[in-house]
């Protein structure tokens, strides 16, 4: 039986709704699929458990027909109804939904009236001005669509770090155990924890490369072998991600690992550094200028030979790490275990799937000492944002849970919408009732750079703002950052003593690591926040920590590495 996850189920139901809408079905029928998908997304239990326990029927919006479909999907991993619908449209049509501003109605019009069913065709139609002439579209939407297509093309063939790492581990683990393999590791941008990557790079050492390459090709999940030489192999996984494996002799592994980890700029600088020290560094190993090989049994030993501190892969971006390593001045990077508590999690009060108590118990289980609840604020209708009476209600519940649980402190927070003018969407009296306020933008993304910068700066001036949430609003591989001047925002944060969030959700990782470095220089504390909407969301903290490490952050630069006492002092609550 294929174990189908909640995400997959929700996606299939949403797509079914879209397909029905494309067909021109009754809009309420389409909505039934969207509603069911939304309500299922809010469930704590995985679909399989829901089916097994018979609780599926109790979920609002799931009637007899949808129950049958969900059971089919959960039990067989497929849904005939969905596949039938899907086969009625060209596969490429769904790419159009990735263009911002194109929803079902517009895609339907484009498909039916222009006969356009792929991104390439749409781009061509735009250059011929045909989209602008279509009813319901105009010059501006055509320009926006062209911009959107350019973005989608740029992101095509790239994967989120979280997904790529899972796929990398899926291949690496069996490979480590394959006969003849001495060592194997991830390398490339994945080892550097880059927020998005193009593929999975692996390096292994073995006496017989062919046997290792055979083992790779035979792994489950390998769709096909794309390329193969005596020592290298490139395969395609069923997830769509490509994996590159290079096999080297045992003695070459440390040098190969260092060189293949990159980045290009870092390796060039490392090679130049080696040369200056009368060495030559290549994938094949380290040697003296006279050609004599210098054995190194690990990457750390290789760096030591070069009179450098070992440089963590996250820092290998050619931004001064070699000079720092030479001076023994590398930062002591933050570790996941440094995180003492969590801010910015959602609960069932707004759009989260778990209750305050469930989230708190999970945080406690994971060894955290405090948990800052930050549900959506009142103007976030779409996310069931909290009206003022519901804020009071939540505070009473937090008091109750705090009294009940020992060893963890639940803090009263809110993720307050920053309105277009930069104000927050509660009265001062209500804002004053929170222990902390995460101020975030969730609307009017299209402001000019000037207006958006002023908006964020004003939010940072607000005495009730504790930290700025997901500062650029980007969604990796799907939405660009809104226009803003980050320098000015960092200046404002510094001036007003505010914290900036590093949103750890793998789609966001916002603040970007480049600006983490800048924030560190200015002494602006960064808070690594999972923005969790269910207990599983706590897992995302690791991605935030990885991004923080790329930004040279140490324990002392990160707000939520502090103890609960320090946090309370800073937040002014007792």
Q: Which residues bind DNA (CB under 7 A)?
A: 26, 28-29, 31-33, 36, 60-67, 100-107, 132, 135-142, 144, 379-382, 420, 442-447, 475, 479
Q: Least distance from C-beta 59 to DNA, angstroms?
A: 7
Pick between residue 58 and residue 290 the one whose CB is nearest to DNA.
58
Pick between residue 333 and residue 511 the one whose CB is nearest to DNA.
511
Q: Least distance from C-beta 60 to DNA, angstroms?
A: 5
Q: Least distance from C-beta 342 to DNA, angstroms?
A: 21
Place of tokens 């000019």: 448
CA–CA dist 22, 34 (Å, integer)? 14
Q: Least distance from C-beta 390 to DNA, angstroms?
A: 16
Pick between residue 322 and residue 452 the one whose CB is nearest to DNA.
452
Pick between residue 106 and residue 344 the one whose CB is nearest to DNA.
106
Phi then psi dihedrals of residue 210, to 5 deg: -60, -40
CA–CA dist 528, 148 (Å, integer)? 30
Phi then psi dihedrals of residue 536, to 5 deg: -60, -25
The DSSP code sequence of 105-169 is: HHHHHHHHHH---SHHHHHHHHHTTHHHHSTT--HHHHHHHHHHHHHHHHHTT-EEHHHHHHHHH
CA–CA dist 312, 332 (Å, integer)? 10
Tokens of 555: 């324990």
CA–CA dist 252, 193 (Å, integer)? 23
User: How far is residue 325 from each of residues 193, 248, 277, 306, 316, measured CA to CA in Å?
Assistant: 19, 27, 14, 10, 11
User: How far is residue 153 from each of residues 121, 150, 371, 400, measured CA to CA in Å?
Assistant: 13, 5, 40, 51
H or E element, residue 175: helix 161-176
Q: Least distance from C-beta 26 to DNA, angstroms?
A: 5
Pick between residue 17 and residue 530 the one whose CB is nearest to DNA.
17
Please, what is the end-to-end C-alpha distance for the chain in angstroms? Answer: 52
CA–CA dist 371, 408 (Å, integer)? 7
| Eight-state DSSP code of residue 539 | G
Pick between residue 28 and residue 429 the one whose CB is nearest to DNA.
28
H or E element, residue 58: none
For residues 521-530, one letter each, b for 16 or more C-beta atoms within 10 angstroms of the residue's C-beta and e for the rest, the string is eeebbbbbbb
Phi then psi dihedrals of residue 26, to 5 deg: -50, 120
Bridge partners of residue 279, in order along the sequence: 288
Contacts of 327 (CB under 8 A, 6+ apart): none
Q: Least distance from C-beta 573 to DNA, angstroms?
A: 28
Pick between residue 279 and residue 445 the one whose CB is nearest to DNA.
445
Pick between residue 303 and residue 426 the one whose CB is nearest to DNA.
426
Measured from the Cβ of residue 190, the count of other Cβ atoms closer than 10 Å reads 24
Q: Least distance from C-beta 165 to DNA, angstroms?
A: 25
Pick between residue 60 and residue 275 the one whose CB is nearest to DNA.
60
Q: Least distance from C-beta 533 to DNA, angstroms?
A: 12
Q: Least distance from C-beta 32 to DNA, angstroms?
A: 4
Pick between residue 453 and residue 561 the one whose CB is nearest to DNA.
453
Q: Least distance from C-beta 451 to DNA, angstroms?
A: 9
């Amino acid at each position: 039986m294929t174990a189908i996850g909640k995400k997959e189920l929700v996606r299939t139901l949403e797509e079914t709704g879209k397909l029905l809408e494309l067909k021109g079905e009754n809009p309420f029928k389409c909505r039934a699929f969207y509603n069911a998908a939304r309500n299922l997304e809010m469930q704590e239990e995985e679909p399989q458990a829901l089916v097994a326990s018979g609780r599926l029927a109790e979920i609002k919006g799931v009637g007899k027909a949808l129950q049958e479909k969900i059971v089919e999907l959960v039990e067989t991993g497929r849904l005939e109804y969905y596949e039938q619908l899907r086969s009625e449209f060209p596969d490429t049509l769904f790419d159009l939904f990735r263009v911002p501003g194109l929803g079902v109605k517009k895609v339907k019009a484009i498909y039916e009236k222009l006969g356009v069913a792929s991104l390439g065709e749409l781009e061509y139609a735009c250059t011929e001005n045909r989209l602008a002439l279509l009813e319901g579209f105009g010059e501006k939407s055509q320009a926006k669509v062209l911009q959107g297509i350019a973005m989608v093309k740029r992101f095509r063939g790239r994967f989120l770090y979280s997904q790529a790492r899972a796929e990398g581990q899926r291949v690496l683990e069996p490979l480590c155990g394959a006969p003849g393999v001495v060592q194997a590791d991830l390398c490339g941008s994945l080892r550097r924890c880059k927020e998005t990557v193009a593929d999975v790079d692996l390096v292994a050492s073995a006496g017989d490369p062919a046997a290792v390459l055979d083992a790779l090709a035979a792994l489950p999940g390998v769709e096909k072998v794309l390329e193969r030489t005596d020592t290298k192999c490139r395969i395609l996984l069923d997830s769509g991600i490509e994996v590159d494996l290079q096999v080297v002799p045992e003695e070459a592994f440390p040098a190969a690992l260092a060189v293949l980890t990159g980045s290009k700029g870092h390796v060039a600088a490392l090679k130049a550094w080696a040369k200056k020290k009368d060495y030559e560094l290549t994938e094949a190993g380290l040697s003296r200028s006279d050609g004599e090989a210098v054995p190194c049994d690990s990457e750390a030993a290789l760096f030591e030979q070069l009179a450098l501190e070992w440089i963590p892969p996250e820092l290998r971006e050619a931004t001064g790490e070699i000079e720092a390593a030479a001076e023994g001045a590398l930062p002591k990077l933050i570790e996941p275990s440094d995180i003492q508590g969590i801010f910015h999690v959602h609960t069932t009060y707004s759009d989260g799937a778990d209750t305050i108590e469930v989230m708190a118990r999970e945080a406690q289980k994971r060894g955290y000492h405090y948990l800052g609840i930050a549900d959506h604020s009142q103007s976030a209708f779409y996310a069931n944002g909290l009206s003022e009476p519901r804020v009071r209600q939540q505070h009473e519940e937090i008091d109750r849970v705090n009294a009940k649980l020992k060893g963890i402190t639940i803090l009263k927070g809110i993720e307050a919408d920053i309105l277009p003018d930069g104000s927050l969407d509660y009265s001062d009296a209500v804002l004053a009732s929170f222990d902390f306020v995460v101020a975030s933008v969730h609307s009017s993304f299209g402001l000019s750079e000037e207006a958006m910068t002023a908006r964020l700066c004003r939010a940072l001036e607000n005495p009730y703002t504790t930290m700025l949430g997901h500062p650029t609003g980007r969604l990796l591989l799907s939405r660009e950052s809104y226009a803003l001047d980050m320098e000015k925002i960092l200046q404002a944060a510094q001036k007003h003593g505010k914290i900036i969030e590093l949103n750890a959700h793998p789609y966001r990782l916002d603040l970007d690591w480049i600006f983490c470095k800048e924030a560190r220089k200015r002494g602006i504390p960064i808070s690594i926040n999972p923005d969790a909407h269910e207990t599983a969301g706590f897992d995302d903290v690791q991605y935030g920590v990885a991004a923080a490490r790329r930004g040279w952050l140490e324990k002392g630069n990160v707000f939520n590495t502090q103890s609960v006492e320090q946090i309370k002092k800073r937040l002014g609550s007792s």
